[in-house]
Structure 1
């Protein structure tokens, strides 16, 4: 039984609630939602950290079972008096509580048309995370186009293949479909997005269509030519000044897909290109795990006196399988930092066939090491300190940043040859559940 699935018999025997306890839970949950959204926007934290941010929301929904109708009234009042910065989170909380306490379609009555248009992400997330699957039927049956589109999105997010006919019927009347990643997910889960359609989006000069096509590739695992992704990179770089956020997302996805599908050619070239932002270049190195790309970054890590960036933490986890304590959070004594990195790298290199390598060899981090004691690494891609393989490394997916985790999900879809409908902005508990299931059933996709 989960924390929000309390039995009615137990609730009937509980004492009356203490004053302001639930109000405090609402305030904490609203703040938690704001922090959660900010965390995803920055893309720097892990899914474990996301789970910690979501705990106040889970506690609130557990308490809502106890407070019953009063919980909805308290949440409604909080939304009505909330400051502008808290409106989004307050509406998310109100809709989420309604989903937990009320049956469909009554659970949708808290969503007025005006609030739906003001806070579409809050509505989508609350329904995605906590609504019963039947909510998709109600949304698809609505006379409001925006509700229909949300129904299509949620049908994909909830993998409701039973609704394929309804989705197809509604999609014909929705002019902007598919426009977002969550909408694309519906088509990819149901096998509705054709490779030819994706290619047509990637051949466009429109930045939004480029993002649509690249997002579809990440979910579906479909492989297209390197030239199409190169085209997306050029469009993104040219648009960076006018549309920095969207262009940055396009650039990130295109680089990820090049490294996933063409690691030894296009991926290595990306690492050497000056136009690619440092953060993306480091993600490329992390995913590739190619020693001749990795060694110059290890030299930077060994010499720098500042704390690790999120991308550097990902690089150490992805390639060497760990982060030495002396490099972890705060700047330490330079000699100790360098020694800790050398010890980790020496251990990993020896484990991968470099029996003759010693710490003194790594006093100078140069690619020439691959012609000497590190020659066995020339044909190896490192992943978590071991040779790369096609299986998703679950422990890495749990600990790397949100953005790096997106790359891992896309890589897994590509290597498995089928859609992998798990999104980095899904509820942390659901991501953890899927990842842990994959870990327990590692041979499910027969990738070895």
Structure 2
């Protein structure tokens, strides 16, 4: 770890600023720009999941990224929003602003994001970072798979060019089947092409900024071939310039706090998981309580500029690390690229087909559904597979917010079960060899031993 010898607990940026090497500048700049090429299109796409204007995605990739870079402890972590947070936000906003009035929606969003930030900051002061150790991995696998199914189904109508009322998972599925005869073939063709481009790039050129290339292809197609004439809807007008100041609707706090608590939990869980996964041994360790503070402040600041709830993203952090990020300066570069996009490129982005954003969301949301992980869990322990499946079913059947409650309850039950029934192994020599292996102790024998 390179520092000036001091441990700046509440302002970790000073640690890497004082120990910054000139040779890192080029690596951080390249990593920051590369990550921006991935983050910006995905953030705009995730805004549409929540039923929000695409510029909200830009705002979310700007100030939260900037604030985290100053207060966070993970050097490669890239903070904006994620599919999980976006669908939870959509559910909560749909409950408090069911009519979808734009002004009411933005003030409700500001209140929700602010509340998420306050909860995270309060959790930091209460030293609740240890909670991350109690989130069951099998339960998280099931929960994210359920989220993936819900998001993909939510985006299918946009891929088909049809407009349908939204409800539960099975209600949406029934409506889509009924609406298939009204499919816009031109919209479907464009969407299918966008999905194919994304999948091909991710498969053959994994280091390429696939979302940016796909968005550019969609904009070029709309401009060159006049796709509007074939009923292919575009994103439309995007305001150019800095984000406006948004006054939160504090009257909604009482109705928003349960959902905000769930979003805060997922934001922290994803943040700490991504930060730990991509940290290096020669870097300062990721400190859970400081991560709570950093993401909390990122959300508080972002709320006033119309940001969605934010957290660390695994895929964008992976891109940042693989592109060579050495410090949080890379995140500052990503935030700077987002600012340039808001100031100069907003009119161009407005030409993008809606189905392009749907394609981006679908491709990256499918990544949340990992059947092989379910299989691996089943191989290791059948009970944990049942926990994962319960979390999955909770999201699909009950909805995302109630699904979080199911996931938390299942996690607590699983911890209690493992505590009451710890795995006990008998060590013995493997027949025909000098090796030693463990054999699970039969429950009946264990009881006799007791």
TM-score range, shorter chain: under 0.3
Bigger relative contact order, structure 1 or 2, given CA contacts below 8 A and separation 6+? 2
**Structure-1-length-normalised TM-score:** 0.20
Bigger Rg, structure 1 or 2: 1
**Structure-2-length-normalised TM-score:** 0.20
